[in-house]
Amino acid sequence: MALKLDGIAVAAAIKSDLKSRVSRLAARGVQAGLGTLLVGDDPGSSRYVAGKHKDCAEVGIRSLRRTLPADADFEQILSVVRDFNEDPACTGFIVQLPLPRGVDANAIIDSIDPAKDADGMHPYNLGELVLHPKGELSTPLPCTPRGVIELLKRYDIDLAGKRVCVLGRGITIGRTIGLLLTRNEVNATVTLCHTGTVDVHRHLREAEVIIAATGSAGIVTADDVAPGAVLVDVGVSRVQDPETGAWRIRGDIDPAAREQASAYTPNPGGVGPMTRAMLLSNVVEIAERGLA
């Protein structure tokens, strides 16, 4: 049977370690603090932000929540970002996307202090990741790519020299995970597939590791998977059961494909908890760097 890569269990272990590190920071007079800015009342975004603050409470990180109405304009949003940049109680923060139509999200992200970029997605931090493939990085890392690699590492899945096929080129995972996978310490060989790729199925079948991040339910089937491949399912879709009418979460990888695999991430319960754990890790590491 394929090995289930349990993101919930690994995230719990990471949070336990973070709790100890937060306590050590507190003993030195420092409290890590996560700031969040939520614009509007989208239920999905609201739940996601609430989950992040629940995680903060578990490990002892201070929560700093700011909310704005759905009709907030660019200057109002920018004002909150500037407040977080200047607030010493906030060691790292995020601006929850999407922002209202007409607001330049890229300009808002650019205005975040890179040293407080809890998501690791500021252009400066991504640039550091591009420029320094060797050695230690002193900037926050993108949460989901970092979470994927950490999960595989915790299960002793060695990626060195492995052929990794990444499906999807979104900035959150597809375009950024290759930067981590090709760092010297990981040393994988990466193929990035997208809607313009000719014969995607051939690339998938040749891969030893598949990382699917398209948001298209079941797009990777058992026929796409080589025997013994490792399957990492990042995509999230809500699909309706034709019989019951109930809505449920489905990933990009058809569960039947697991029969071909050596290991797989469940969805939900795989990459999602790891992303949240890496957000906390970034916040704590930012606080620790402030004492260095």
- Secondary structure of residue 236 in the 3-state scheme: coil
260 is catalytic: no
Which two structure tokens, joined as six digits, stand for 57? Answer: 């409470």
Query: Which residue(s) pair with 66 in the sheet?
Result: 37
Catalytic residue among 52, 117, 162, 224: 52
Q: How far is CA 143 from CA 100, 115, 162, 197, 240, in A?
A: 23, 15, 22, 26, 29
How far is Cα 173 from Cα 194, in angstroms, rounded to an integer?
Answer: 13
Which two structure tokens, joined as six digits, stand for 235? Answer: 């995509």
Number of H helices, E strands in the chain: 9, 11
Which two structure tokens, joined as six digits, stand for 197? Answer: 């790729």
54 is catalytic: no
Which of 31, 90, 102 is closest to 66 using CA atoms? 90
96 is catalytic: yes
DSSP per-residue codes, 135-175: S---SPPPHHHHHHHHHHHHTT---TT-EEEEE---TTTHH
Can you say whether the dihedral through the CA atoms of 231, 235, 238, 239 is positive or negative? negative
Q: Which pairing describes strands 230-233 and 263-264: parallel, antiparallel, or unpaired?
A: parallel
**16-37 burial string, b = 16+ CB within 10 Å, else e?**
eebeebbeebeeeebebbbbbb
Catalytic residue among 55, 116, 117, 119: 119
Which two structure tokens, joined as six digits, stand for 146? Answer: 């970092």
Which of 141, 85, 98, 145 is closest to 118 using CA atoms? 141
Catalytic residue among 15, 55, 96, 162: 96
Give catalytic residues, as residue numbers: 52, 96, 119
